[in-house]
A and B are shown apart, each in its own frame.
Chain A
Amino acid sequence: DAGVIQSPRHEVTEMGQEVTLRCKPISGHNSLFWYRQTMMRGLELLIYFNNNVPIDDSGMPEDRFSAKMPNASFSTLKIQPSEPRDSAVYFCASSLGGPTDTQYFGPGTRLTVL
């Protein structure tokens, strides 16, 4: 299996621009998670989907952030407009969907907002 796939791996953009991060979970996995990793705040869960439905978005920082999962094999995290404080590494993870299943992480997208 190819594992969780994220694109792009690196993104540099200017403040105010729209940024879209993409994730393809492992085939057959029903749960998908978006995390953000920063030096200051560590690893934070942003949003969790189960069977393509957002279950917990309490970690989404503000209205500038939105996430979608139109089908079982694709999810996006969008930031509009982006700000320098959004600079971080964004990870996508997937699991089989049970409450105790192992989460498998993608390689991450390093976002830099100038």
Chain B
Amino acid sequence: GDSVTQMEGPVTLSEEAFLTINCTYTATGYPSLFWYVQYPGEGLQLLLKATKADDKGSNKGFEATYRKETTSFHLEKGSVQVSDSAVYFCALRGGGYNKLIFGAGTRLAVHP
């Protein structure tokens, strides 16, 4: 079945460092791909999405490109801030209804 694999955390960075969180997927057909962010004590929020191959989703300085050839959707940010500390979830939506399949989540801690 469809699945999402993302790098294990925690990822610990200093402020202004470059961030990459890897995400790969297995799916039939052409899924839509998402990154959600969960801040402490809150629910998940959509960060960005891409619906077809080679699309780039971007928001708040974060970017991810839908790479069909490598079945990947890695999250990047050029300069992280302390306020980016959160758990990041990669997800896919396959065919049929609006069902999301999530990766395990990657915790990011950014220190001043």
User: A interface vs B, CB < 8 Å?
Assistant: 4, 31, 42-43, 45, 48, 50, 55-56, 91, 93, 95, 98-108
Contacts and interface: CB of A to CB of B under 8 A. Distances in A.
A29 B111 CA distance: 39
A56 B99 contact: yes
A27 to B, nearest CB: 17
Nearest to A92: B43
A42 B103 contact: yes
Interface string B28-57: 000010000000011111100101000000
A43 B45 CA distance: 14
B44 A98 contact: no
A99 B105 contact: no
A43 B42 CA distance: 14
A31 B43 contact: no
Nearest to B44: A105
A91 B98 contact: no
Contacts of B32: 100
Contact of A107 (B41, B96, B99): B41
Interface in B68-112: 89, 93, 96-105
Given A50-B97, A55-B97, A91 B43 contact: yes
Given A42-B105, A43-B105, A48 B44 contact: no
Given A43-B89, A43-B105, A100-B32, A108 B43 contact: yes
27 contacts: A4-B43, A42-B104, A43-B44, A43-B89, A43-B102, A45-B101, A48-B98, A48-B99, A50-B97, A55-B97, A56-B99, A91-B44, A95-B98, A99-B97, A99-B98, A100-B32, A100-B51, A101-B98, A102-B49, A103-B46, A103-B98, A103-B100, A104-B46, A105-B44, A105-B45, A107-B41, A107-B43
Interface of B: 32, 41-46, 49, 51, 89, 93, 96-105
Nearest to A43: B102
Contacts of A101: 98
Given A43-B89, A93-B44, 9 more contacts: A31-B98, A42-B103, A43-B102, A48-B99, A91-B44, A100-B98, A102-B46, A104-B46, A105-B43
